[in-house]
Amino acid sequence: MAIERTLTILKPDCVRKNLIGEVTKRIQEAGFNICAMKLVKLTKTEAEGFYAVHKGRPFFEELTTFMSSGACVPMVLEKENAIADFRTLIGATNPADADEGTIRKDFADSVGENIVHGSDSVENGKIESNYFFPEHEIVANAM
Ligand code: ADP
Ligand code: MG
């Protein structure tokens, strides 16, 4: 399997619940290497840009208001098969449907406030990573 990169965001609910450490520990224990990370507070416009693919969906306003409601922690993660394995680690979008032991099952309150983002393809992972980090801030072979 190929080494891939994915972009995650520890969302504002994760930060507010003081779960940055707990969730990062799970991510690292699952074998993901952190290649970039920072704490930022998105403006509404920046949140709308990140989630532009969902523009027009009924939850777009709620989603972008939430994502700009407090600090969040974007990270670029690297691992074999990172895209699919990270989706498995976090669980279904709606925590009510998420498998036992997943991050969303254990920590998320609702489909809107579901603790973490994960890219859905290698291509989107790259676009999303560059939304937060210029290439020179993404550390290759960070381990
Ligand atoms: P995922 O984050 O699992 O890839 P999507 O890409 O479908 O999920 O949606 C992006 C984000 O939009 C979700 O993580 C969630 O925060 C929010 N969202 C999705 N569907 C809903 C919904 N029905 N109601 C409220 N928020 C939603
Ligand atoms: Mg998605």
Is residue 17 in a domain?
yes
| Ligand 1 atom closest to Cα of residue 117 | 2
Is residue 58 in a domain?
no
pTM > 0.85: yes
Split into its structural domains, the chain has a count of: 1
Does 91 have pLDDT greater than 80? Answer: yes
Catalytic residue among 5, 79, 104, 117: 117
Tokens 């406030």 appear where?
113
- The two tokens of residue 10 are 């520890």
Atom 7, ligand 1: residue with shortest CA distance: 93
Judge if the beta carbon of residue 124 lies within 6 A of ligand 1: no
What angle is formed at CA 36 by the lines to CA 35 and CA 42, rounded to 5 degrees? 150
Is residue 102 in a domain?
yes
Q: Give the pLDDT confidence score for residue 142 in this predicted structure.
A: 67
Q: Is 85 helix (H, G, I), strand (E, B) or coil?
A: helix
Tell me, what DSSP letter sits at residue 59? Answer: T
What is the domain extent for residue 128?
3-42+73-137
Identify the CATH number of the domain in which residue 36 sits: 3.30.70.141
Is residue 64 in a domain?
no
Is residue 143 in a domain?
no
Does 40 have pLDDT greater than 70? Answer: yes
Looking at the DSSP bridge assignments, the partners of residue 73 are 10
